[in-house]
Structure 1
């Protein structure tokens, strides 16, 4: 799965004209420079060519093996080895396949590469099964089922069950085979792997075909064929051709069966699948045997045997030998029949193919009977009967269970009759106690009624307490969220004003003024909403109706979202009648409801999705319908969305801001206008709001007629053209700002852009990815963000060796002491509460970057000894640097110790090692090692411990002139002068 995702990303990053996937992969391969991506593309090409052009598949897998062998990450070598082994299995080169699978398994276990280990185990099980070693195949597959379940590799579980079904099928254990195929199909269906589910259904059809359930077999073959055609899966289509041929043969249609076999043979020859070719020749031989054409039958059986012996396929060797033995018996070549049937029995005994062994005993019994050797004929007949009995024990057991069930039913019938007679006797006895029982029941009912009343009182009290607790929690969450809603816009208003206060000669540019206006309106809107709620609760909010055009009002309100829709590339559709609707209505309250519904629709949609608004007037009723194609609302949360303070997503990682009062206020306003508001939603499909408000149309005054020319709104807003941003190439420290509020993000960037290179991310998940790939010098992150909040982001960064050294400043609207402590405990270096001063933020950023630079300089200046505690800020960095210095201390005198050996000892990639050491010490791994040796040399020279030459050798320099040159560059004097 990981390999496939990397290839898809690579393809998407490369612009190609519409053409086949193979051509696209070949083009990407030509320009790809990164070895890991090359291996992934080569292996994807192997999968594409595997059945279409086996030779090209072979060339690509060999190239993948060469590239992966040069890389440091052994998991790519595992993937290439497994792919090579699978091709060898297809060509029936089983011994070579075993070697490659075992190598892949060994490496995967050494590096704890679970996916590679699972794939290798499945491959070994499949290869052993195909060669005929059924017990060994079952052992590997059962081992992988346990392992795949442990690591939750559902695809591996399904594949193992399918291959285990093949083992049971070859043994003739059809019930076990059916169970295994069914389990594989169930898992593949759950994980959405349609192609593999089709393979499982085809195998289930095969079992039905062997049990002569031909209608069921055709049903499963037809279902799987539709899936194979969908994915253009040639092996599956060939498999169905072969087995449909078997069904047609058994239905007495030899010519149609022979046609299917020939098509299957063409496909298998194209794929180079010799094992399957051997099987098809056996099936063709069966057709000619049925038609009494023994010469043709023997010829095809011999072809099957020859191919099976060539590839060492024990199963097909046994089956073809038995078919020859049976055919030779038919035209009384008894010696040849005895030879081939004996051979079949011998091979079948070795591999546990019980059905073939049973058929061989039967033929040998017939041969010896015809020869007149009744003793041997009887012995083989006994062996045949015994084997047949053992194979059909399961059916006998099922029959015994059926007999047992009938017996149990008869016993129950007798017990019921006995109980009926006893009941008559008990009825007579109970009649005498009737009065006594009634008295007891009446007393018990009285006590029970009293208990119910007491319990009901207790339950009402508990329910009230619970509701009060829930209300308190809702209020607490509301005040926490509303403070965040106020603090963010207040920061954006305060920032430009502080700048103007500190720099009176400057003027605010147009964008800053727009930002202040936007955020002022946002704060004002929140305050108005709170005031409206308060007035509704007090019963002081009343309708203030004025005459006007309702449709025009709504058209204008809907049009205010046009630019926002264009900015987010949304499909925004507005349908308001072109005519006028003159009526008396409260414009302010209607607009508030309308704005709330549309803004909510945009809020819970991803960029590029659809929002639709439809307005109509039907039977003196204004109908407003607002729908979106967003994430929808789950069924359990739908009844509460109009409750005050309720939020569908109240976590700190929620995708959108909100206070939980908008929909509650809308419902109250609609109710005030004697209307109704309803909602329907399906998770993943979107949400649909409907508002119905009674309005009485009135005659339009003549003086107002010229104002009623409607402006038609376009049904779809055209998106803005894409603009390519210019990369910042200044030699300045690089900052990463992670903030979900667009205005805040741009505000922080503008404050810092003059002195730093600034990257942006709009949520925690995107920020983590950017931090790992670009390694900024400092990160500024908000606390409450979608997909991943600041706490989780900080924890992941500080526990990752690649990013643990990066200073982090956390911004938050939560001003509580416990929030600050929690943030600092997670690893944040600074914690700033909104609203904050831009000057304070700049100062904090500067201090952290200077501190980081001083730590690096401390290392550079210290000539003899370095204390990791003094140049690191986290325990993870300290431990890493201690490990590096201990390694240098141990190996610096070794001539052969260099950067590759350092990488190997530290078990870290070249890129990661270089980034980490540059961040902590300011030096590359090569410079660090060289300077460490020079420091040791300076110590020894200062102590006059030995000659310059001997000291140079002692510290790991093999070239004296190079040692002298490096020493002079670092200390300004030659070693002898020092």
Structure 2
């Protein structure tokens, strides 16, 4: 089978090619005519340049992938996809790597390419492990283990064991890790794969070191390093250097340890292996921590954390955060210690990293004790002790040592067996029965394992489908929300401009001009944010530093939220030292970070809550802290809030607008300035952001003799709140306008006020209450609103007998046909997409109100026959009217039947019955009953069925003069003349 370990072991297996070999490959590529061979040559050239020139390596890979796709050779396309995914994985571009591996896996399964499938499976397992998803990584490696055993592919089996050992090591399961590495070493030794056996030995040395057996660890490291020298395997040698550094640290030989770590760091920088660089920086921080050089330790931990965040390495984020928490405790910075250790514990619990959880409990216990919180200290100490007892016990160490000893004994046994083959045969014969019994046991276990794997594969597919659905939903929600963000201000800009265009002599008032400016700034801000993200993605965004007073800049930026806080009665506190901090920094990017964090804090805070902004300088870093006492963020959503376009609340009823860009942009800008941003939150208690930006303080220039420039305070141009007149007494149709945007509500109301009475509501919940209490002639509602969205509101109105007759126009920024159909299916009578023209809205309002008036007129004009379907627009109204007419048909001859009896039969109050019948027929219940009887009398009289007196009695009139009076009022003639 094709060798596949370059993509599936702990390290990459190819490093460096001679220039002569590269020249040879390029010459062959230039003269080659067969396309499939060209693909092979392109892949070989990409591998040759992988470390020396990564850009050129990627260029050859892209060419190979394009050529394989063009010639429709799926087997070569699988090879190119796997190679490209491996390149991205080496750069820690995990999400992109997973995408290409999954494409390769799907294609390999379609064409039954076993080699390509195996590479893709282990590539996926390795990449998910690097992301911190140990469970999913383990599932893919177990799946490949079964697959490789089925094919009897020993290299694939060994690779799976090695990678499973890596996962068990991350979890702190050293017994399982030692077993997996040992199994891998056995197979690699048997098939003569020297280099990979060396990798397994290095991993066994690492486990021995963690079990405090330094002598054994050094022995194995020396054996593996000897192998790596022979095969010129730089990643392996760097790994050995890092392991030796750990041993020297345990022996308190700090100088030797630092020397080994520095050598390893330089090697990893040469290979651009960021995850390994992150680990080495953490190890260097540990050395300085041992030496009680806390500032140097914190500096290296921050460098490690920055890289871990950049490559989304959750495991190292958790471990480095715990190291920072411990170091801040040594520095007696208790708040920072609690913040970092608390974050580390939460993340480590989610990832299943028990050792980090245990260390976090210990630090938190020490912090609580130092803060005089003895109960909290006791609780954390109990949790720490419980985990320590379960993880570090003598039994586990003895078992791991026994496994390694068995491996050594087996190796010696094989050497003796080569010299004494006859004795081996005899031994095999003696153990024949035992082997048969063991074979049956293994077969049973294999069947159980196969069943478990099939079930796991089913679960994996289900999970993958769910992830794809969630991704599609996230994209759909983002585009819907961003279109809403653009369409609403565009409507408010477009409307006044069109009116001015149609009426050149008319001037816009001051409030309309302010409204246009507010919404223009809003659109401009959204566009600028998208452009900033685009520049960062393309690498075009650069730091433009100028000297200035950092604290003054922060005070100015923070003060721009004063008026907003005052309007919403929020307790807004700004704590920036009242001193000069002169430094070289990028003012624009720093202000954007502050604005986005404060905007987010205010957005999720209710009236009367607290928002805090604090900034200070320590340890050559500018530290910014923004907190609020708002609703907070749930633990399962917290890891995703810095993701592009992610929104905590994506429903149609969300209280605040947003596009999911601000926090992602802030994170990108902080990292562009070599800083870090972290967050902690608790539902119902608020959210806390911390930003660390490296910054060197410089000497401030001498003040000039020119007059000082006053600080400019930025003010937020908040929309004016519009109040309704006390009561509109005009005899005009009444319209209920439900819209949460003040500007949009004011704009629509101004268009309607000349011809209609307007009642306003700011959300769906209030709109439903006002519709039930006032029964307007028409309702105009927005789709996306707080409390209750337009869809839910429309459904409630149309399924309530009191409001089902009211026509509804729904306004929305969602322009898709499916959205329109969904709106109409809920019962909306019309659907208008933003931005819309005022004339179109007025025409639709006039048509719907006119339609209801024509239906009522139709009822009055049809004296003898009434068809409910012709005077109603909803099935609920039709059923109600049919029920009323059937009741009248049954009871009209009963002189004792009146409005009270009608109320009782229909189970409605007097007000409800009057309002409903008046809207549908333009008659009161009493008028409806009287006119129904008179119409039946007219039918009988026209047929000459009886005398006038008898007809009057037959239709429920006891008073003949009253009957004659009512009949003449309706038909213009007396009953006898009719």
1:940 paired residue number:
940
Distance verdict in 2 for CA 1:458–1:943, change over 3 Å: closer
2: CA distance, partners of 1:707 / 1:778? 62
User: How far apart in 1 are the matches of 2:757 and 2:696?
Assistant: 61
Q: Measure how far apart 1:821 and its partner are.
A: 1.3
Q: How many Å separate the matches in 2 of 1:443 and 1:707?
A: 91
The 1:639/1:886 distance shift into structure 2, 3 A limit, reads same
2:618 aligned with 1:618: yes
Question: 1:594: which partner in 2?
Answer: 594
Deviations 1:629-680 (A, max 9, x none): 2211111111111111211112222222221121111111111112221211
Q: Distance in 1 between matches of 2:718 and 2:536?
A: 40
Structure 1 runs (4+) deviating above 6 angstroms are 430-466, 705-714, 717-724
- Closer, same or farther: CA 847–465 of 1 in aligned 2, 3 Å: closer
Deviation at 1:892, TM superposition (A): 1.4
The alignment partner of 2:680 has SS state of strand
Partner SS for 2:655: coil
Q: Distance in 2 between matches of 1:452 and 1:491?
A: 58
- Give, in whole Å, the separation in 1 of the partners of 2:453 and 2:658: 44
User: C-alpha displacement at 1:612, in angstroms?
Assistant: 2.5
Aligned counterpart, 2:829: 829
- SS of the aligned residue for 1:737 comes to strand
Deviations 1:112-144 (A, max 9, x none): xxxxxxxxxxxxxxxxxxxxxxxxxxxxxxxxx
CA distance in 2, matches of 1:467, 1:952: 75
**Hey, what does 1:564 align to over in structure 2?**
564
Q: 1:540 to 1:455 in 2, by over 3 A?
A: farther
- CA distances 1:883-924 after superposition (whole Å, capped 9, x unpaired): 111111111121111111000111111111111011101111
Range with bigger deviation, 722-731 or 616-625: 722-731
Stretch moving more, 634-643 or 475-484: 475-484
Q: How does 1:284-295 map to 2 (within 5 A)?
A: none
SS of 1:735 mapped into structure 2: strand
The superposition leaves residues 189-222 of structure 1 with CA deviations (integer Å, 9 ceiling, x where unpaired) of xxxxxxxxxxxxxxxxxxxxxxxxxxxxxxxxxx
Partner SS, residue 755 of structure 1: coil
The answer for the alignment partner of 1:398 in structure 2 is none
Q: Match for residue 506 of structure 2?
A: 506
**Residue-by-residue CA offset, 1:321-361 (whole Å, 9 max, x unaligned):** xxxxxxxxxxxxxxxxxxxxxxxxxxxxxxxxxxxxxxxxx
Provide structure 1 residue ranges, at least 5 long, that are not aligned to the other structure.
1-429
- Look up the match of 1:240: none
Distance in 2 (CA, whole Å) between partners of 1:951 and 1:441 is: 100
Shift in Å at residue 720 of structure 1?
A: 11
Displacement, 1:713?
A: 9.3
Residue 843 (1) aligns with residue 843 (2)? yes
CA drift of 1:553 comes to: 2.4
Matched residues in 2 for 1:964 and 1:452: separation?
Answer: 90
User: Is the 1:676–1:691 contact (alpha carbons within 8 Å) kept by the matching residues of 2?
Assistant: yes
In the alignment, the residues of structure 1 paired with residue 515 and residue 967 of structure 2 have an alpha-carbon distance, to the nearest angstrom, of 58
TM-score, with structure 2 as normaliser: 0.52
Q: How does 1:489-504 map to 2 (within 5 A)?
A: 489-504=489-504
Q: What corresponds to 1:737 in structure 2?
A: 737
Provide the residue aligned with 1:379 in structure 2.
Answer: none
CA contact (8 A) 1:567 1:719 kept: no
Alignment partners' CA distance in 1, 2:809 and 2:975? 46
1:960-971 equivalence runs, <5 A:
960-971=960-971
Counterpart-to-counterpart distance in 2, 1:447 and 1:945 = 92
Structure 2 distance, partners of 1:458, 1:850, is: 59
Q: How far is the alpha carbon of 1:719 from its aligned partner?
A: 15
The 1:537/1:713 distance shift into structure 2, 3 A limit, reads closer
* Cα distance, 1:462–1:947 mapped onto 2, change above 3 Å: closer
Query: In structure 1, how many angstroms separate the alpha carbons of the residues matched to 2:608 and 2:965?
Result: 62
Residue 788 of structure 1: how far off its partner (Å): 2.1
For 1:946 and 1:449, the matched residues in 2 are separated by 94
Deviation at 1:708, TM superposition (A): 6.7
User: In the alignment, what sits opposite 2:765?
Assistant: 765
Distance 1:947 1:820 in 2: 59
Task: Name the CA distance, whole Å, in 2 between partners of 1:816 and 1:929.
Answer: 47
CA RMSD of superposed structures (Å): 3.6
Equivalent positions of 1:879-958 (< 5 A) are 879-958=879-958
- 1:834 shift after superposition: 1.2
Alpha-carbon contact 2:722-2:746 (below 8 Å) kept: no
Kept in 2: contact 1:580–1:710 (CA 8 A): no
- State the partner residue of 1:536: 536
- The 5 Å alignment of 1:281-680 reads 470-680=470-680
Question: How far apart are 1:833 and its partner, in Å?
Answer: 1.1
Match of 1:136 in 2: none
Alpha carbons 1:579, 1:710 under 8 Å: kept:
no
Cα distance in 1, alignment partners of residues 844 and 475 from structure 2: 34
Q: Residue 690 in 1 paired to residue 690 in 2? A: yes
Determine the C-alpha separation between the residues in 2 that align with 1:713 and 1:434: 87
CA, structure 1 residues 778+676, in 2 after alignment: closer, same or farther (shift >3 Å)? Answer: same
Equivalent-residue separation in structure 2 for 1:480 and 1:704 (angstroms) = 53
C-alpha distance 540-465 of structure 1, shift in aligned 2 (>3 A): farther
| Partner secondary structure for residue 644 of structure 1 | coil
Q: Which residue of 1 aligns with 2:681?
A: 681
- Residues 721 and 603 from structure 1, CA distance in 2 versus in 1: closer, same or farther, beyond 3 angstroms? closer
CA-CA distance at 1:549 after TM superposition: 2.5
Q: Which residue of 1 aligns with 2:395?
A: none
| Structural mapping, 1:9-158, within 5 Å | none
How far apart, in 2, do the equivalents of 1:970 and 1:537 lie? 78
**2:719–2:742 CA contact under 8 A, matched in 1:** no
Q: Which runs of 5+ in 2 are unaligned?
A: 1-429
* Cα gap change, 1:467 to 1:519, in 2 (>3 Å): same
Instruction: Report the counterpart of residue 800 of structure 1 in structure 2.
Output: 800
Alpha-carbon distance between aligned partners in 2 of 1:462 and 1:931, rounded to the nearest angstrom: 66
* Larger deviation, residues 801-810 vs 505-514: 505-514
> Alpha carbons of 1:443 and 1:804: their partners in 2 closer, same or farther (altered >3 Å)?
closer
The within-5 A match list for 1:212-291 is none
Write the deviation string for residues 599-637 of structure 1: whole angstroms up to 9, x where unpaired: 112222233333222233334332222222221111111
Tell me what 1:809 maps to.
Answer: 809
In 1, are the aligned partners of 2:934 and 2:967 still within 8 Å (CA)? yes
Name the CA shift for 1:704/1:950 in 2 (closer, same or farther; >3 Å): farther
Kindly tell me: are residues 601 and 707 of structure 1, through their superposed partners in 2, closer, same or farther at Cα, counting changes over 3 Å? farther
State the match for 2:861 in structure 1: 861
CA distance in 2, matches of 1:940, 1:603: 71
Residues 591 and 935 (structure 1 numbering): CA distance in 2 closer, same or farther, change over 3 Å?
same
Q: Deviations for 1:407-438, whole angstroms, at most 9, x for unmatched residues?
A: xxxxxxxxxxxxxxxxxxxxxxx999767778
Superposed displacement of residue 749, structure 1:
1.4
Q: What is the rounded CA distance, in whole Å, between the counterparts of 1:723 and 1:869 in structure 2?
A: 41
The separation in 1 between residues aligned to 2:481 and 2:592, in whole angstroms, is: 21
1:482 CA displacement? 1.4
CA shift in 2, pair 1:538/1:446, >3 Å: farther
CA distance 1:784–1:906, change in 2 (3 Å): same
Partner of 1:177: none
2:647 counterpart SS class: coil
Distance 1:941 1:627, change over 3 A: same
- How far does residue 851 in structure 1 lie from its aligned partner after superposition? 0.5
| Matching residue of 1:700 | 700
- After superposition, the Cα gap between the structure-2 partners of 1:674 and 1:828, relative to the gap in structure 1 and judged at 3 Å, is same
Deviation at 1:484, TM superposition (A): 1.7
Change (3 A) 1:510 1:578: farther
Q: Is the 8 A contact 1:895 1:956 kept in 2?
A: yes
Report the CA distance between 1:809 and its aligned residue. 0.7
Distance 1:913 1:468 in 2: 52
Higher alpha-carbon deviation: 504-513 or 967-976: 967-976
Distance (Å, rounded) in 1 between the aligned partners of 2:892 and 2:447: 90
Label 1:449 to 1:776 Cα distance change in 2 as closer, same or farther (>3 A): closer
Counterpart contact for 2:937–2:951, Cα < 8 Å: yes
Matches of 1:431 and 1:488 in 2, distance apart? 82
